[in-house]
Amino acid sequence: MSLRHIPIPSTPWAHPPVCPTYNLATRIQTKLQEDLLSWKAAGGTSSSAPPPRPALMTFTPAPTFTLGRRQPPPTSAERAEMSKRLICETYRPASRADFSFLKPAIVQTPRGGLTTYHGPGQVLFWPIIDLKSPLHNHFTVRSYVSLLEKTTLETLRKAYNISGFTDPKNPGVWARKSRIVMGPDGDDIEVEGQEEKVAALGVHLRRNVTGLGIAINFRMPLSSNPKENPFVRISPCGMESDAVTSVAKLSGRTLPLEDAVDTLIPMWADEFARQLGVANAANRDAGPLVEADTWINWAIDMGIVKRKNSGFEIARKRKH
């Protein structure tokens, strides 16, 4: 048994390309959660039906500010500031348009915490698992949060030689980028920078079934310009905006956004499946750790496209 991977593409149909909405990802997550909850309601391990496989959704959403349960409702002035159009580099840019001016959405979420941002240049990993499933290791809420953090730490270390760390008081993954300065005698001295967050974490559980997950800042604008850097418009998770960093900045490399698809996502998924303890982690001859779903099936199921003879067409909203 392997981990079921559902990669939501950022550019399935449109040119210039667009990212999936946060609400679309939530709809897919909800369907997967309902499958697990229905199995549990039918008797769980005593049920004749096999338990649903653990799943992982990965995607880069359209620009979105998400509000946690601890966040007071934003004022009209705060909403107006957050809603201003952003200059966003698209995930897999088309030749005609490398940049787009996109208006961020503002979404209320069930997670704890305060306001944060998700959008182009970032990758979200949302596992949908039953913490007590017979198909893999069992977890408490605390050990599950640790699982997400450890998976991210190992992936960043293996893929980009980034040494991160965690903070018990602030969930997520943090890092420090050192720099060389001139010492009093003219010699080079290595100085550690401030703590900066490279991955934000937020989870929500219902009867031990997980929702949401972790977001890795892969390559995002980190300037002080609010037209480019959305974190300048808020205090992300209660932090100062300059406490946010990215994989590209920490690695010191010019990373194309495609590398998030080609390297970061598959390595994170494999590491998560291994630490989750799916059956194939103990017996690699049984098959791959991760098996990807075909996106077109989900696109049809979610009403994004519909079948038309032997091909497909984008589903249009009916006018009532």
Residues with catalytic function: 237
Q: Which two tokens stand for residue 45?
A: 């391990």
Residue (of 109, 117, 100, 113) closest to 60 by Cα position: 117
Q: Which two tokens stand for residue 18?
A: 């667009």
Instruction: Report the half-sphere exposure of 297 (CA within 13 A, side-chain side).
Output: 5
Q: Which two tokens stand for residue 319?
A: 């006018």
Q: Could you give the 3-state DSSP secondary structure of residue 145?
A: helix
Dihedral, CA of residue 126, residue 244, residue 122 and residue 67, to nearest 10: 50
- The answer to whether 123 and 19 have CB atoms below 8 angstroms apart is no
Beta bridge partners of 244: 197
- The answer to whether 265 and 59 have CB atoms below 8 angstroms apart is no
CA dihedral sign, ordered 251, 164, 209, 70: negative
- The answer to whether 200 and 243 have CB atoms below 8 angstroms apart is no
Q: How far is it, in rounded angstroms, from Cα 64 to Cα 66?
A: 6
